[in-house]
Amino acid sequence: MTGVLQTHARQYKIAIDKLSFGFEILAEQTSEEMTEKPEDGVYIYGLYIEGGRWDRDNGCIAECLPGRMTEPMPVVWFKPQEDYRPDPDEYQAPLYKTSVRAGVLSTTGQSTNFIVCVALPSPTVAANLWVLRATALLCMLDD
């Protein structure tokens, strides 16, 4: 992740401290259909959402389907952006390496299991609902 930001900062001559990630969910394409790399940033696939699901028809986070705790996420485009400010109507879903959601505190004060918050549109439901449900993105499942 840091390497992506460093590459972008060097290419566009921007201070890396001013960069962070914006996100776009690419639900119309599968990872197999993507043959070209993005001009900026990276495509990430293989993530899961726990405590919610991605509604492909409406392009937003939605309620879980009955009996399903986790669902696969579509491809997420991590786009470096200067002075990025997330939309307050978007849910800042934490992305964890594992479903344990705990880790050792690193020297930065963050858990070693936490990666980044991914902004997910939530137009019909207040973002607070997803916080109460502990909705998160995961890199891997326990299975």
Taking only the tens place, the pLDDT of each residue in 18-32 is 999 999 999 888 888
Q: What is the DSSP string of 109-129?
A: SSBTTEEEEEEEE-SSS-HHH
Res. 51: pLDDT tops 90: yes
Res. 109: pLDDT tops 70: no
Query: For the chain, which domains are there?
Result: 2-138 (3.10.490.20)
Q: What global pTM score does this model have?
A: 0.88
| Interatomic CA distance for residues 71 and 97, integer angstroms | 16
Res. 125: pLDDT tops 70: yes
Helix (H, G, I), strand (E, B) or coil at 2: helix
Share of the chain above pLDDT 90, in %: 68
